[in-house]
Amino acid sequence: MADPHAHDRLIALLGAELAPVRRLSPPWLRTLGWLAVVAVLALALFARYGTAPMLTRWAGAPDLGWAGLGAALTAVAAAWAAFALGVPGSRTTWAWLPLAPALLWIGASGLGCLRGWVAPATHVASAPEASDCLLFIIAFSVPLSALLVVLLRRACPLRPVLTAVMVGLASASASASLLEICHAFDAAATDLAMHALAVALVIGANAALGGRLLAPGARRAS
């Protein structure tokens, strides 16, 4: 005859091994936490370069200012989308959140190439100078991406690659907006091509590496 209390003992045994799980903060709050780190980096750059060069460039060529604003808003939207996608049951439509600011960023950057004048306190970047912009965006994107991945590993992204793409977009756009603080070059084709290459490399690396790190199997293995 089956023991009527066997199921109760099994449930009690399994329950005793469960560890309490700390509830995640809402996506918008975690986004603010990540943006606080970006703000600290911005303050450090402002302390080094000041605000006058950036404001002078923007006053003489407003498209540069709109491009910088678009990059900053893209970073906010993409980070929010990444944290939202980390919540089980969330919709993939969150991935469309950065679309509008990204279009502003891309459109304003492209319009700069159509100007007939050079923005004040700038010059057209040579190929070596443009490559410095690529290195800047990648260098700042690495720690910002790593921080987002660490924060997201506590969540459970059911679409890890899509989430990692948002991580890459957030990090690259945040780095591009930080570059505006010390960017002494006008919106020329060579410079913008390097920016686009840097953003593509950051997103691609996150999709390849971040997607694996955010996969459920990777979290269990760690």
d(C-alpha 206, C-alpha 134), whole Å = 16
Cα-based distances in Å from 126 to 123, 131, 138: 9, 9, 19
Amino acid identity, position 54: M
Residue 221 has pLDDT above 50, yes or no: no
CA–CA distance, 110 with 211 (Å, rounded to integer): 31
User: Tokens 């439509």 label which residue?
Assistant: 93
pLDDT for the residue 166: 97
**What does residue 218 show for φ and ψ, rounded to 5 degrees?**
-65, -40
pLDDT in tens, 163-188: 999 999 999 999 999 999 999 999 88
Task: Give pLDDT tens digits for 35-76.
Answer: 999 999 999 999 999 999 999 999 999 999 999 999 999 999
The string of pLDDT tens digits covering residues 187-196 is: 888 899 999 9
Segments of the chain assigned E as strands: none
Average pLDDT across the chain, whole number: 88
Going by C-beta distance under 8 Å and a sequence separation of 6 or more, which residues neighbour residue 208?
Answer: none
> What is the C-alpha end-to-end distance of the chain, expressed in Å?
43
Residue 33 dihedral angles phi and psi, to the nearest 5°? -60, -45
The whole-number average pLDDT for the span 141-160 is: 90
CA angle 51, 31, 201 (to 5 degrees): 75
More confident residue, 18 or 170: 170
The reported pTM is 0.87
pLDDT in tens, 26-35: 999 999 999 9
Give residue for tokens 């955010």: 214
